[in-house]
Structure 1
């Protein structure tokens, strides 16, 4: 694993250097909230990330242990990016970003998820984290058979 050279030891700097740009947050959004996990699915997002930038960002997420890469059980020539436990720990942060964004952009955001969050944030986060773990496990099980 390649080690990223850090500008400082500040915890906020550490976090920002990993996922502090718009593309990383959008990839994390797609992994966590939109069920996307393939290169083509990420490319199909409304924001139109370039292939080169997407490759760079996915490699950073891999190097940092936020995602893992497995062969697709449906197509041996393609890969899936699965969120790791380290990445799943970011769900509460992403929920806060989602909530903040929806407060100031009321037309955006996944309405059912926002309703769950507003009803019981702690429960919604736990359920989302469990769902992500279960999805990852089902892919891992499918690829090991």
Structure 2
């Protein structure tokens, strides 16, 4: 019995869908915001600055963002290991979009859901 493989080319994403595929989800925008705000950041620092994210999810999201060319990962050959992350120019070009999303939230979040700064 022969299995039929799908040989048709993958469907091209619409620009909107493509953008969402890069920044969508619960964590990617939070990670990008931290890198934009703090600059070059080590893995442990990033983990502390994104409350609630697990090590596994952080690693997966960082790998996704690196594969899309949004962040850069630099690993130093030393003991203990040192890895730093930063936004690429491509990642920096997404920040105005994230800022507008944040502004919209500031103006539209219901008062009952507003996070009060301490």
Q: What is residue 40 of structure 1 aligned with on the other side?
A: 44
The SS at the match of 2:69 is: coil
Q: Secondary structure at the match of 1:65?
A: coil
Please say if residues 98 and 109 of structure 1, whose CA atoms lie closer than 8 Å, have aligned partners that are also in contact: no
Q: Runs of 4 or more off by more than 4 Å in structure 1? A: 105-110
- The structure in which a higher percent of residues are strand is 2
Q: Which has the larger radius of gyration?
A: 2
Match of 1:60 among 53, 60, 64: 64
Output the TM-score relative to the length of structure 1.
0.61
Distance change in 2, residues 1:16/1:7 (3 Å): farther
In terms of fraction of residues, the more helix-rich structure is 1
1:77 counterpart = 2:45: no
Q: Gapped runs of 5+ residues in structure 1?
A: 1-5, 111-145
Whether 2:21 is the aligned partner of 1:14: answer: no
Higher relative contact order (CA 8 A, sep 6+): 2
Could you tell me which of 16, 26, 29 is aligned with 2:30? 26
> How far did 1:22 drift?
1.6
Aligned-residue CA RMSD (Å): 2.9
Query: 2:116 and 2:15 mapped to 1: Cα distance?
Result: 28
Distance of aligned partners of 1:46 and 1:63 in 2 relative to their CA distance in 1, 3 Å threshold: closer
For these two proteins, the number of residue pairs brought into alignment is 105
Q: Is there any run of 5+ residues in structure 2 with no aligned partner, and where? A: 1-9
